Amino acid sequence: MSLMVIAHLLDRYGPLLTEEQLARVLHMEPGTVRNQRVSLGIPVIRRGRTPLYHVEEVAAYLDRLRALAGSAADPHPCATNELDEAR
């Protein structure tokens, strides 16, 4: 988990983010965050009826996204070899 991400989120939003703040961080609409609450996989803390998200859980989610994006950007080794052989 990236400590820089946690430090940035703590400095900007405090230890708990609202749905609106999480939407801003994820570049989504608040309604999308509400609708995809379960599929995002970020644990929800309830304060009364208000859903809140802990900064460390949000940072872990961003790290998972970064890892998925990094693995998708890496070409498959076989595909690279096929391209080299074609040249």
Per-residue model confidence as pLDDT tens digits over 41-70? 999 999 999 999 999 999 999 999 999 988
Q: Quick one: pLDDT at residue 83?
A: 47
pLDDT band for 1, please (50, 70, 90 cuts): low
Please tell me the distance from the alpha carbon of residue 21 to that of residue 43, in angstroms, as a whole number: 15
pTM: 0.77
Residue 52 phi, psi (nearest 5): -130, 155
Closest to 57 in 3D by CA, of 76, 77, 37: 37
Please tell me the distance from the alpha carbon of residue 20 to that of residue 22, in angstroms, as a whole number: 5
Structure letter (DSSP) for residue 50: E
